[in-house]
Structure 1
Protein backbone atom coordinates (compact mmCIF):
# COMPACT_ATOMS: atom_id res chain seq x y z
CA UNK A 1 0.00 0.00 0.00
CA UNK A 2 1.44 3.35 -1.04
CA UNK A 3 2.16 5.88 1.70
CA UNK A 4 2.82 8.68 -0.80
CA UNK A 5 0.21 11.41 -0.28
CA UNK A 6 -1.83 12.41 -3.34
CA UNK A 7 -0.86 15.61 -5.10
CA UNK A 8 -2.77 18.55 -3.71
CA UNK A 9 -4.52 20.75 -3.15
CA UNK A 10 -7.79 19.18 -2.10
CA UNK A 11 -10.55 20.53 -4.37
CA UNK A 12 -14.27 20.30 -3.78
CA UNK A 13 -17.30 21.35 -5.77
CA UNK A 14 -17.71 24.40 -3.54
CA UNK A 15 -14.06 25.42 -3.55
CA UNK A 16 -13.85 25.15 -7.33
CA UNK A 17 -17.04 27.18 -7.78
CA UNK A 18 -15.73 29.90 -5.47
CA UNK A 19 -12.44 30.16 -7.35
CA UNK A 20 -14.19 30.17 -10.73
CA UNK A 21 -16.24 33.14 -9.54
CA UNK A 22 -13.07 34.82 -8.33
CA UNK A 23 -11.52 34.75 -11.82
CA UNK A 24 -14.62 36.37 -13.29
CA UNK A 25 -16.97 33.61 -14.43
CA UNK A 26 -20.51 35.01 -14.53
CA UNK A 27 -24.01 33.55 -14.20
CA UNK A 28 -25.91 33.31 -17.48
CA UNK A 29 -22.96 33.37 -19.85
CA UNK A 30 -22.01 30.84 -22.52
CA UNK A 31 -18.62 29.28 -21.84
CA UNK A 32 -16.38 27.04 -23.93
CA UNK A 33 -14.07 25.11 -21.61
CA UNK A 34 -10.79 23.38 -22.43
CA UNK A 35 -9.54 21.55 -19.38
CA UNK A 36 -7.05 19.27 -17.67
CA UNK A 37 -8.44 17.46 -14.66
CA UNK A 38 -5.02 16.40 -13.39
CA UNK A 39 -3.80 20.02 -13.29
CA UNK A 40 -6.30 20.92 -10.56
CA UNK A 41 -4.98 18.70 -7.79
CA UNK A 42 -6.96 16.10 -5.87
CA UNK A 43 -10.61 16.64 -6.79
CA UNK A 44 -13.12 15.17 -4.38
CA UNK A 45 -15.76 13.76 -6.73
CA UNK A 46 -13.52 13.70 -9.79
CA UNK A 47 -14.60 15.26 -13.09
CA UNK A 48 -18.25 15.28 -12.02
CA UNK A 49 -17.42 17.75 -9.26
CA UNK A 50 -15.73 20.03 -11.78
CA UNK A 51 -18.77 19.95 -14.07
CA UNK A 52 -21.09 20.66 -11.15
CA UNK A 53 -18.91 23.59 -10.05
CA UNK A 54 -19.02 25.08 -13.55
CA UNK A 55 -22.80 24.65 -13.72
CA UNK A 56 -23.19 26.14 -10.24
CA UNK A 57 -21.46 29.32 -11.37
CA UNK A 58 -23.13 29.54 -14.78
CA UNK A 59 -26.57 28.97 -13.25
CA UNK A 60 -29.77 27.92 -14.98
CA UNK A 61 -29.41 30.60 -17.66
CA UNK A 62 -25.81 29.75 -18.54
CA UNK A 63 -24.55 27.23 -21.07
CA UNK A 64 -21.48 25.04 -20.69
CA UNK A 65 -19.80 23.85 -23.91
CA UNK A 66 -16.87 21.44 -24.30
CA UNK A 67 -15.09 19.77 -27.23
CA UNK A 68 -16.07 16.10 -27.51
CA UNK A 69 -13.81 15.22 -30.42
CA UNK A 70 -13.37 11.68 -31.73
CA UNK A 71 -10.61 11.99 -34.30
CA UNK A 72 -10.00 8.25 -34.44
CA UNK A 73 -13.04 8.02 -36.75
CA UNK A 74 -10.87 8.90 -39.73
CA UNK A 75 -8.90 7.48 -42.63
CA UNK A 76 -6.18 5.17 -41.28
CA UNK A 77 -3.92 6.35 -44.09
CA UNK A 78 -3.51 9.59 -42.10
CA UNK A 79 -2.89 8.03 -38.68
CA UNK A 80 0.42 8.57 -36.96
CA UNK A 81 -0.36 8.19 -33.25
CA UNK A 82 0.20 5.32 -33.88
CA UNK A 83 0.19 4.40 -37.56
CA UNK A 84 -1.16 1.03 -38.70
CA UNK A 85 0.01 -1.24 -41.56
CA UNK A 86 -1.28 -0.28 -45.00
CA UNK A 87 -2.58 -3.84 -45.40
CA UNK A 88 -5.15 -3.05 -42.68
CA UNK A 89 -6.52 0.15 -44.18
CA UNK A 90 -9.30 -1.35 -46.30
CA UNK A 91 -10.60 -3.50 -43.44
CA UNK A 92 -10.54 -0.54 -41.04
CA UNK A 93 -12.49 1.63 -43.49
CA UNK A 94 -15.03 -1.16 -43.95
CA UNK A 95 -15.55 -1.88 -40.26
CA UNK A 96 -15.03 1.46 -38.46
CA UNK A 97 -17.94 2.02 -36.08
CA UNK A 98 -20.12 4.89 -37.30
CA UNK A 99 -20.36 8.06 -35.27
CA UNK A 100 -23.22 8.07 -32.77
CA UNK A 101 -23.54 11.28 -30.72
CA UNK A 102 -25.08 9.25 -27.89
CA UNK A 103 -22.36 6.64 -27.51
CA UNK A 104 -19.15 7.52 -29.39
CA UNK A 105 -16.49 8.23 -26.76
CA UNK A 106 -14.26 11.27 -26.83
CA UNK A 107 -10.59 10.96 -27.66
CA UNK A 108 -7.76 13.18 -26.50
CA UNK A 109 -9.81 15.91 -24.83
CA UNK A 110 -9.76 14.70 -21.24
CA UNK A 111 -12.06 13.42 -18.53
CA UNK A 112 -14.16 16.55 -18.08
CA UNK A 113 -15.55 16.64 -21.66
CA UNK A 114 -16.25 12.91 -21.48
CA UNK A 115 -18.23 13.57 -18.31
CA UNK A 116 -20.18 16.41 -19.95
CA UNK A 117 -20.95 14.17 -22.94
CA UNK A 118 -22.67 11.71 -20.60
CA UNK A 119 -24.38 14.35 -18.44
CA UNK A 120 -28.19 14.17 -18.14
CA UNK A 121 -29.71 16.57 -20.64
CA UNK A 122 -26.46 17.17 -22.55
CA UNK A 123 -26.65 17.55 -26.33
CA UNK A 124 -23.91 16.88 -28.87
CA UNK A 125 -23.25 18.12 -32.39
CA UNK A 126 -23.27 15.93 -35.48
CA UNK A 127 -19.69 15.95 -36.76
CA UNK A 128 -18.08 12.50 -36.43
CA UNK A 129 -14.63 13.92 -35.62
CA UNK A 130 -14.97 17.40 -34.09
CA UNK A 131 -18.23 17.39 -32.16
CA UNK A 132 -19.01 19.63 -29.20
CA UNK A 133 -21.34 18.91 -26.29
CA UNK A 134 -23.34 21.45 -24.33
CA UNK A 135 -25.55 21.74 -21.27
CA UNK A 136 -27.89 24.69 -20.92
CA UNK A 137 -30.57 26.74 -22.67
CA UNK A 138 -28.39 27.71 -25.67
CA UNK A 139 -27.24 24.16 -26.40
CA UNK A 140 -29.35 23.59 -29.51
CA UNK A 141 -28.59 27.05 -30.90
CA UNK A 142 -24.88 26.31 -30.66
CA UNK A 143 -24.82 22.66 -31.71
CA UNK A 144 -27.42 22.35 -34.48
CA UNK A 145 -26.27 22.33 -38.09
CA UNK A 146 -22.69 21.10 -37.62
CA UNK A 147 -21.92 20.24 -41.24
CA UNK A 148 -19.97 17.13 -42.20
CA UNK A 149 -17.71 19.16 -44.50
CA UNK A 150 -16.95 21.83 -41.88
CA UNK A 151 -15.07 20.51 -38.90
CA UNK A 152 -14.36 23.82 -37.16
CA UNK A 153 -15.49 26.57 -39.51
CA UNK A 154 -18.54 28.69 -40.32
CA UNK A 155 -21.00 25.80 -40.07
CA UNK A 156 -19.64 24.49 -36.80
CA UNK A 157 -20.47 25.29 -33.16
CA UNK A 158 -17.46 27.62 -33.03
CA UNK A 159 -19.17 30.13 -35.30
CA UNK A 160 -22.37 29.89 -33.25
CA UNK A 161 -20.36 30.48 -30.09
CA UNK A 162 -18.99 33.60 -31.75
CA UNK A 163 -22.56 34.69 -32.54
CA UNK A 164 -23.58 34.51 -28.88
CA UNK A 165 -20.35 36.19 -27.72
CA UNK A 166 -19.17 33.24 -25.69
CA UNK A 167 -16.04 33.29 -23.60
CA UNK A 168 -13.30 30.65 -23.42
CA UNK A 169 -11.90 29.18 -20.22
CA UNK A 170 -8.55 27.41 -20.44
CA UNK A 171 -8.56 25.47 -17.18
CA UNK A 172 -5.12 23.94 -16.83
CA UNK A 173 -4.92 23.73 -20.62
CA UNK A 174 -2.63 25.65 -22.95
CA UNK A 175 -3.35 27.62 -26.08
CA UNK A 176 -2.56 24.56 -28.20
CA UNK A 177 -5.99 23.35 -27.04
CA UNK A 178 -7.81 26.52 -28.12
CA UNK A 179 -10.11 25.23 -30.87
CA UNK A 180 -11.41 28.74 -31.58
CA UNK A 181 -8.14 29.48 -33.36
CA UNK A 182 -9.22 26.92 -35.99
CA UNK A 183 -12.21 29.08 -36.90
CA UNK A 184 -9.70 31.73 -37.98
CA UNK A 185 -8.06 29.17 -40.29
CA UNK A 186 -11.28 28.97 -42.28
CA UNK A 187 -11.12 32.72 -42.86
CA UNK A 188 -7.68 32.84 -44.45
CA UNK A 189 -6.43 31.10 -47.62
CA UNK A 190 -5.96 27.41 -46.93
CA UNK A 191 -5.86 24.22 -49.01
CA UNK A 192 -8.80 21.86 -49.27
CA UNK A 193 -8.28 18.21 -48.36
CA UNK A 194 -10.24 14.97 -48.42
CA UNK A 195 -11.61 14.01 -45.01
CA UNK A 196 -13.15 10.58 -44.41
CA UNK A 197 -15.15 8.98 -41.62
CA UNK A 198 -17.88 6.44 -40.86
CA UNK A 199 -21.41 7.77 -40.39
CA UNK A 200 -24.96 6.50 -40.09
CA UNK A 201 -27.45 7.44 -42.79
CA UNK A 202 -31.12 6.49 -43.25
CA UNK A 203 -29.80 3.74 -45.51
CA UNK A 204 -27.35 2.46 -42.89
CA UNK A 205 -23.65 2.77 -42.14
CA UNK A 206 -21.53 4.49 -44.77
CA UNK A 207 -17.86 5.41 -45.22
CA UNK A 208 -17.99 9.00 -46.39
CA UNK A 209 -15.38 11.34 -47.88
CA UNK A 210 -15.88 15.11 -48.06
CA UNK A 211 -13.74 18.12 -48.99
CA UNK A 212 -12.85 20.38 -46.09
CA UNK A 213 -10.33 23.02 -45.11
CA UNK A 214 -6.96 21.71 -43.93
CA UNK A 215 -6.37 22.56 -40.28
CA UNK A 216 -3.45 22.24 -37.88
CA UNK A 217 -2.60 23.42 -34.40
CA UNK A 218 1.02 24.04 -35.38
CA UNK A 219 2.08 27.39 -33.95
CA UNK A 220 -0.91 27.78 -31.62
CA UNK A 221 1.42 28.11 -28.61
CA UNK A 222 3.19 31.06 -30.25
CA UNK A 223 -0.14 32.51 -31.38
CA UNK A 224 -1.51 32.24 -27.85
CA UNK A 225 1.55 33.89 -26.34
CA UNK A 226 1.23 36.83 -28.73
CA UNK A 227 -2.52 37.09 -28.10
CA UNK A 228 -1.93 37.12 -24.36
CA UNK A 229 0.63 39.91 -24.69
CA UNK A 230 -1.59 42.17 -26.77
CA UNK A 231 -5.20 41.50 -25.83
CA UNK A 232 -7.16 41.48 -22.55
CA UNK A 233 -7.09 38.11 -20.83
CA UNK A 234 -8.02 37.36 -17.24
CA UNK A 235 -5.44 35.11 -15.62
CA UNK A 236 -5.73 33.40 -12.28
CA UNK A 237 -5.59 30.07 -10.53
CA UNK A 238 -8.28 27.51 -9.86
CA UNK A 239 -6.96 25.03 -7.31
CA UNK A 240 -3.48 24.20 -8.68
CA UNK A 241 -4.36 24.98 -12.28
CA UNK A 242 -3.52 28.09 -14.23
CA UNK A 243 -6.70 29.52 -15.70
CA UNK A 244 -7.22 31.95 -18.57
CA UNK A 245 -10.57 33.54 -19.39
CA UNK A 246 -11.14 35.58 -22.55
CA UNK A 247 -13.50 36.48 -25.37
CA UNK A 248 -13.88 33.91 -28.16
CA UNK A 249 -14.66 36.68 -30.65
CA UNK A 250 -11.48 38.52 -29.71
CA UNK A 251 -9.39 35.34 -29.98
CA UNK A 252 -10.69 34.50 -33.45
CA UNK A 253 -10.18 38.03 -34.77
CA UNK A 254 -6.62 38.15 -33.44
CA UNK A 255 -5.81 34.68 -34.77
CA UNK A 256 -7.07 35.54 -38.24
CA UNK A 257 -4.54 38.36 -38.55
CA UNK A 258 -1.70 36.49 -36.83
CA UNK A 259 -2.06 33.30 -38.88
CA UNK A 260 -2.20 35.22 -42.15
CA UNK A 261 1.10 36.86 -41.22
CA UNK A 262 2.92 33.89 -39.70
CA UNK A 263 1.83 30.78 -41.57
CA UNK A 264 4.49 30.08 -44.23
CA UNK A 265 2.02 29.33 -47.01
CA UNK A 266 -1.37 27.72 -47.40
CA UNK A 267 0.09 24.92 -49.46
CA UNK A 268 2.38 23.81 -46.63
CA UNK A 269 -0.35 23.33 -44.01
CA UNK A 270 -0.64 19.65 -43.00
CA UNK A 271 -3.96 18.04 -42.28
CA UNK A 272 -4.83 17.58 -38.60
CA UNK A 273 -6.04 14.04 -37.98
Structure 2
Protein backbone atom coordinates (compact mmCIF):
# COMPACT_ATOMS: atom_id res chain seq x y z
CA UNK A 1 0.00 0.00 0.00
CA UNK A 2 1.56 3.27 -1.13
CA UNK A 3 1.16 6.17 1.27
CA UNK A 4 -0.23 9.43 -0.12
CA UNK A 5 2.44 12.14 -0.04
CA UNK A 6 0.27 14.38 2.13
CA UNK A 7 0.18 11.94 5.07
CA UNK A 8 3.16 10.30 6.79
CA UNK A 9 2.93 6.56 7.22
CA UNK A 10 2.25 5.41 10.75
CA UNK A 11 4.41 2.93 12.64
CA UNK A 12 1.58 0.40 12.54
CA UNK A 13 1.33 0.70 8.74
CA UNK A 14 5.10 0.38 8.24
CA UNK A 15 5.33 -2.65 10.52
CA UNK A 16 2.46 -4.33 8.68
CA UNK A 17 4.13 -3.63 5.34
CA UNK A 18 7.35 -5.30 6.52
CA UNK A 19 5.30 -8.34 7.50
CA UNK A 20 3.46 -8.32 4.17
CA UNK A 21 6.83 -8.24 2.39
CA UNK A 22 7.88 -11.40 4.19
CA UNK A 23 9.95 -10.17 7.13
CA UNK A 24 9.52 -12.60 10.01
CA UNK A 25 10.49 -12.77 13.71
CA UNK A 26 14.01 -14.15 14.04
CA UNK A 27 15.11 -13.08 10.56
CA UNK A 28 18.67 -12.03 9.82
CA UNK A 29 18.45 -9.10 7.42
CA UNK A 30 21.10 -7.09 5.59
CA UNK A 31 19.38 -3.78 4.93
CA UNK A 32 20.05 -1.37 2.07
CA UNK A 33 17.74 1.61 2.61
CA UNK A 34 16.83 4.82 0.83
CA UNK A 35 15.02 7.00 3.36
CA UNK A 36 14.01 9.40 0.60
CA UNK A 37 12.30 6.58 -1.30
CA UNK A 38 10.36 5.47 1.78
CA UNK A 39 9.06 9.00 2.24
CA UNK A 40 7.57 10.57 5.38
CA UNK A 41 7.05 8.34 8.39
CA UNK A 42 5.64 9.44 11.72
CA UNK A 43 8.65 9.65 14.00
CA UNK A 44 11.08 9.83 11.10
CA UNK A 45 13.95 7.49 10.34
CA UNK A 46 14.24 6.36 13.96
CA UNK A 47 10.66 5.13 13.86
CA UNK A 48 11.31 3.29 10.59
CA UNK A 49 14.26 1.47 12.15
CA UNK A 50 12.26 0.54 15.23
CA UNK A 51 9.47 -0.81 13.03
CA UNK A 52 12.00 -3.10 11.35
CA UNK A 53 13.47 -4.14 14.71
CA UNK A 54 9.93 -4.89 15.86
CA UNK A 55 9.28 -6.97 12.74
CA UNK A 56 12.32 -9.21 13.32
CA UNK A 57 11.76 -9.25 17.07
CA UNK A 58 14.33 -9.83 19.83
CA UNK A 59 15.54 -12.99 18.09
CA UNK A 60 16.26 -11.18 14.84
CA UNK A 61 19.43 -9.42 13.68
CA UNK A 62 19.95 -6.47 11.34
CA UNK A 63 23.18 -5.84 9.45
CA UNK A 64 24.23 -2.90 7.29
CA UNK A 65 27.20 -1.76 5.23
CA UNK A 66 28.65 1.19 7.13
CA UNK A 67 32.11 1.69 5.57
CA UNK A 68 33.88 4.84 6.86
CA UNK A 69 33.64 8.42 5.67
CA UNK A 70 37.42 8.85 6.19
CA UNK A 71 38.42 5.67 4.36
CA UNK A 72 41.60 6.42 2.34
CA UNK A 73 40.77 3.74 -0.20
CA UNK A 74 40.80 6.02 -3.24
CA UNK A 75 43.79 7.98 -1.94
CA UNK A 76 45.95 4.82 -1.68
CA UNK A 77 44.40 2.72 -4.47
CA UNK A 78 46.82 0.69 -6.59
CA UNK A 79 49.94 2.48 -5.43
CA UNK A 80 48.59 6.02 -5.04
CA UNK A 81 50.21 7.82 -2.13
CA UNK A 82 49.30 10.49 0.37
CA UNK A 83 51.52 13.44 1.13
CA UNK A 84 53.57 12.93 4.30
CA UNK A 85 51.54 15.46 6.30
CA UNK A 86 48.23 13.92 5.15
CA UNK A 87 49.45 10.47 6.08
CA UNK A 88 50.59 11.68 9.48
CA UNK A 89 47.34 13.50 10.24
CA UNK A 90 44.92 10.87 8.91
CA UNK A 91 42.93 9.37 11.79
CA UNK A 92 43.19 5.69 12.67
CA UNK A 93 40.02 3.68 12.20
CA UNK A 94 38.24 3.00 15.47
CA UNK A 95 35.06 0.89 15.08
CA UNK A 96 33.63 2.35 18.28
CA UNK A 97 33.75 5.97 17.13
CA UNK A 98 34.21 6.03 13.34
CA UNK A 99 31.50 7.84 11.38
CA UNK A 100 29.60 6.11 8.59
CA UNK A 101 30.12 6.76 4.89
CA UNK A 102 26.92 8.63 3.89
CA UNK A 103 26.94 7.39 0.30
CA UNK A 104 25.54 4.02 1.40
CA UNK A 105 22.56 5.58 3.15
CA UNK A 106 22.13 7.13 6.57
CA UNK A 107 19.97 4.26 7.79
CA UNK A 108 23.19 2.42 8.63
CA UNK A 109 24.35 5.36 10.73
CA UNK A 110 21.22 4.83 12.83
CA UNK A 111 22.15 1.17 13.23
CA UNK A 112 25.56 2.08 14.66
CA UNK A 113 23.85 4.09 17.40
CA UNK A 114 21.60 1.27 18.57
CA UNK A 115 22.21 -0.37 21.96
CA UNK A 116 24.38 -3.44 21.49
CA UNK A 117 25.47 -2.50 17.96
CA UNK A 118 28.74 -4.10 16.82
CA UNK A 119 31.02 -2.70 14.11
CA UNK A 120 33.56 -4.73 12.13
CA UNK A 121 37.26 -3.88 12.00
CA UNK A 122 37.74 -3.44 8.23
CA UNK A 123 37.65 0.35 7.71
CA UNK A 124 36.43 0.49 4.11
CA UNK A 125 34.17 -2.59 4.20
CA UNK A 126 33.02 -2.05 7.78
CA UNK A 127 29.73 -3.73 8.68
CA UNK A 128 27.42 -2.92 11.57
CA UNK A 129 25.05 -5.42 13.16
CA UNK A 130 22.42 -5.33 15.90
CA UNK A 131 20.90 -8.43 17.48
CA UNK A 132 21.83 -11.89 18.78
CA UNK A 133 24.10 -12.71 15.80
CA UNK A 134 25.90 -9.35 15.76
CA UNK A 135 29.14 -10.50 17.37
CA UNK A 136 29.28 -13.65 15.24
CA UNK A 137 28.75 -11.70 12.04
CA UNK A 138 31.20 -8.84 12.45
CA UNK A 139 34.36 -10.59 13.66
CA UNK A 140 36.82 -11.37 12.31
CA UNK A 141 37.02 -8.88 9.43
CA UNK A 142 40.62 -8.53 8.33
CA UNK A 143 42.10 -6.39 5.58
CA UNK A 144 42.09 -8.42 2.37
CA UNK A 145 38.83 -10.15 3.37
CA UNK A 146 36.43 -7.35 2.49
CA UNK A 147 33.45 -9.22 1.01
CA UNK A 148 34.69 -12.71 0.17
CA UNK A 149 35.74 -15.74 2.23
CA UNK A 150 36.17 -15.08 5.98
CA UNK A 151 34.15 -11.87 5.73
CA UNK A 152 30.92 -10.90 7.52
CA UNK A 153 29.14 -11.43 4.20
CA UNK A 154 30.20 -15.09 4.15
CA UNK A 155 28.86 -15.59 7.68
CA UNK A 156 25.68 -13.70 6.82
CA UNK A 157 25.08 -16.13 3.94
CA UNK A 158 25.95 -19.15 6.10
CA UNK A 159 23.32 -18.08 8.65
CA UNK A 160 20.62 -17.95 5.96
CA UNK A 161 20.35 -14.19 5.90
CA UNK A 162 18.01 -12.21 3.70
CA UNK A 163 18.82 -9.04 1.76
CA UNK A 164 16.25 -6.27 2.20
CA UNK A 165 16.25 -3.58 -0.47
CA UNK A 166 14.25 -0.86 1.26
CA UNK A 167 13.86 1.52 -1.66
CA UNK A 168 17.52 1.02 -2.60
CA UNK A 169 18.49 0.21 -6.22
CA UNK A 170 19.48 -3.22 -7.49
CA UNK A 171 23.15 -2.27 -7.66
CA UNK A 172 23.16 -2.05 -3.84
CA UNK A 173 23.17 -5.83 -3.16
CA UNK A 174 26.55 -5.97 -1.39
CA UNK A 175 26.22 -9.73 -0.83
CA UNK A 176 26.80 -10.23 -4.56
CA UNK A 177 30.41 -9.11 -4.09
CA UNK A 178 30.83 -12.49 -2.41
CA UNK A 179 29.69 -14.15 -5.64
CA UNK A 180 32.30 -12.11 -7.52
CA UNK A 181 35.01 -13.15 -5.06
CA UNK A 182 34.37 -16.90 -5.23
CA UNK A 183 33.23 -17.34 -8.86
CA UNK A 184 35.71 -19.43 -10.84
CA UNK A 185 36.31 -17.07 -13.75
CA UNK A 186 39.57 -15.81 -15.30
CA UNK A 187 41.04 -12.31 -15.24
CA UNK A 188 39.31 -11.10 -12.10
CA UNK A 189 40.55 -7.67 -11.09
CA UNK A 190 42.56 -7.16 -7.91
CA UNK A 191 43.31 -3.93 -6.09
CA UNK A 192 45.79 -2.81 -3.45
CA UNK A 193 45.19 -0.14 -0.83
CA UNK A 194 46.33 0.99 2.62
CA UNK A 195 44.37 1.59 5.81
CA UNK A 196 45.32 3.24 9.12
CA UNK A 197 44.55 1.00 12.10
CA UNK A 198 45.38 1.03 15.77
CA UNK A 199 48.05 -1.53 16.58
CA UNK A 200 48.46 -3.59 19.73
CA UNK A 201 50.61 -0.76 21.06
CA UNK A 202 47.66 1.64 20.81
CA UNK A 203 49.38 3.65 18.08
CA UNK A 204 48.34 4.22 14.47
CA UNK A 205 49.97 2.04 11.85
CA UNK A 206 49.40 1.90 8.09
CA UNK A 207 48.70 -1.57 6.71
CA UNK A 208 48.73 -2.63 3.06
CA UNK A 209 46.08 -4.96 1.70
CA UNK A 210 45.10 -6.68 -1.54
CA UNK A 211 41.55 -7.65 -2.40
CA UNK A 212 39.05 -8.27 -5.18
CA UNK A 213 37.93 -5.13 -7.00
CA UNK A 214 34.37 -4.47 -5.83
CA UNK A 215 34.10 -1.58 -8.31
CA UNK A 216 34.32 -3.97 -11.27
CA UNK A 217 35.32 -7.62 -10.97
CA UNK A 218 36.12 -7.74 -14.70
CA UNK A 219 37.10 -4.95 -17.06
CA UNK A 220 33.72 -5.17 -18.80
CA UNK A 221 31.95 -4.34 -15.52
CA UNK A 222 34.14 -1.35 -14.69
CA UNK A 223 33.04 0.97 -17.51
CA UNK A 224 31.82 4.31 -16.22
CA UNK A 225 28.13 4.89 -16.88
CA UNK A 226 27.39 1.20 -17.48
CA UNK A 227 25.89 -1.37 -15.11
CA UNK A 228 28.35 -3.39 -13.05
CA UNK A 229 28.05 -7.13 -12.44
CA UNK A 230 26.07 -6.68 -9.21
CA UNK A 231 23.34 -4.68 -10.93
CA UNK A 232 23.13 -7.05 -13.91
CA UNK A 233 22.97 -10.14 -11.72
CA UNK A 234 20.31 -8.65 -9.44
CA UNK A 235 18.24 -7.47 -12.42
CA UNK A 236 18.27 -10.94 -13.98
CA UNK A 237 17.50 -12.55 -10.62
CA UNK A 238 14.41 -10.39 -10.17
CA UNK A 239 13.25 -11.17 -13.71
CA UNK A 240 13.67 -14.96 -13.38
CA UNK A 241 13.03 -15.72 -9.69
CA UNK A 242 10.30 -13.24 -8.80
CA UNK A 243 11.45 -12.64 -5.20
CA UNK A 244 9.08 -11.12 -2.62
CA UNK A 245 8.22 -7.55 -3.57
CA UNK A 246 6.12 -4.91 -1.88
CA UNK A 247 5.83 -1.32 -0.77
CA UNK A 248 7.09 0.11 2.50
CA UNK A 249 5.85 3.65 2.69
CA UNK A 250 6.41 4.87 -0.87
CA UNK A 251 9.44 2.66 -1.51
CA UNK A 252 9.68 -0.31 -3.84
CA UNK A 253 11.16 -3.14 -1.80
CA UNK A 254 12.59 -6.60 -2.44
CA UNK A 255 13.49 -9.40 -0.04
CA UNK A 256 16.17 -11.76 -1.39
CA UNK A 257 17.29 -15.03 0.24
CA UNK A 258 21.02 -14.30 0.34
CA UNK A 259 22.24 -17.82 -0.37
CA UNK A 260 19.90 -18.13 -3.36
CA UNK A 261 20.84 -14.86 -5.04
CA UNK A 262 24.55 -15.44 -4.37
CA UNK A 263 24.40 -18.95 -5.85
CA UNK A 264 22.57 -17.44 -8.82
CA UNK A 265 25.29 -14.81 -9.12
CA UNK A 266 28.12 -17.36 -9.06
CA UNK A 267 26.42 -19.42 -11.78
CA UNK A 268 25.66 -16.25 -13.78
CA UNK A 269 29.30 -15.19 -13.79
CA UNK A 270 30.70 -18.65 -14.50
CA UNK A 271 28.26 -19.25 -17.32
CA UNK A 272 29.32 -16.04 -19.08
CA UNK A 273 33.01 -16.01 -18.27
CA UNK A 274 34.10 -19.59 -17.75
CA UNK A 275 37.68 -20.54 -18.55
CA UNK A 276 37.77 -21.82 -22.11
User: TM tier, shorter chain?
Assistant: 0.7 to 0.9
Query: Which residue in the other structure is 2:34 paired with?
Result: 36
Determine if the alignment matches structure 1 residue 106 to structure 2 residue 100: yes
Query: Which residue in the other structure is 1:270 paired with?
Result: none
**Across the two proteins, how many residue pairs are aligned to each other?**
254
Determine if the alignment matches structure 1 residue 180 to structure 2 residue 175: yes
Gaps of 5+ in 1: 1-5, 80-85, 266-273
> After superposition, where does 1:47-86 map in structure 2 within 5 Å?
47-70=45-68, 72-77=70-75
| Post-superposition offset of 1:12 | 2.8
Query: Which residue in the other structure is 1:198 paired with?
Result: 196
Query: Which residue in the other structure is 1:212 paired with?
Result: 211
Query: Which residue in the other structure is 1:254 paired with?
Result: 264
Query: Which residue in the other structure is 1:168 paired with?
Result: 163
Query: Which residue in the other structure is 1:223 paired with?
Result: 233
CA 1:93 to 1:41, structure 2 compared with 1: closer, same or farther past 3 Å?
Answer: same
CA 1:264 to 1:109, structure 2 compared with 1: closer, same or farther past 3 Å?
Answer: farther
**Distance (Å, rounded) in 2 between the aligned partners of 1:72 and 1:151:** 17
Larger mean CA deviation between 117-126 and 64-73 belongs to 64-73
TM-score (norm. length: structure 2): 0.85
Name which of 15, 23, 26 aligns with 1:25: 23
**Distance (Å, rounded) in 1 between the aligned partners of 2:143 and 2:57:** 32
Instruction: Give CA-to-partner distance per residue, 1:40-72, whole Å, 9 cap, x none.
Output: 111222221111001101011111111111264
| Post-superposition offset of 1:39 | 0.6
Q: Which runs of 4+ in 1 moved over 6 A?
A: none
- Preserved contact between residue 232 and residue 246 of structure 1 (Cα < 8 Å): no
**Distance (Å, rounded) in 1 between the aligned partners of 2:34 and 2:274:** 31
Determine if the alignment matches structure 1 residue 239 to structure 2 residue 249: yes
TM-score (norm. length: structure 1): 0.86
**Distance (Å, rounded) in 2 between the aligned partners of 1:88 and 1:78:** 7
**Distance (Å, rounded) in 1 between the aligned partners of 2:60 and 2:73:** 37
* CA RMSD, 1 decimal: 2.2
Name which of 134, 138, 145 aligns with 2:129: 134
CA 1:26 to 1:159, structure 2 compared with 1: closer, same or farther past 3 Å?
Answer: same
| Post-superposition offset of 1:262 | 4.6
Query: Which residue in the other structure is 2:9 paired with?
Result: 11
**Distance (Å, rounded) in 1 between the aligned partners of 2:241 and 2:44:** 33
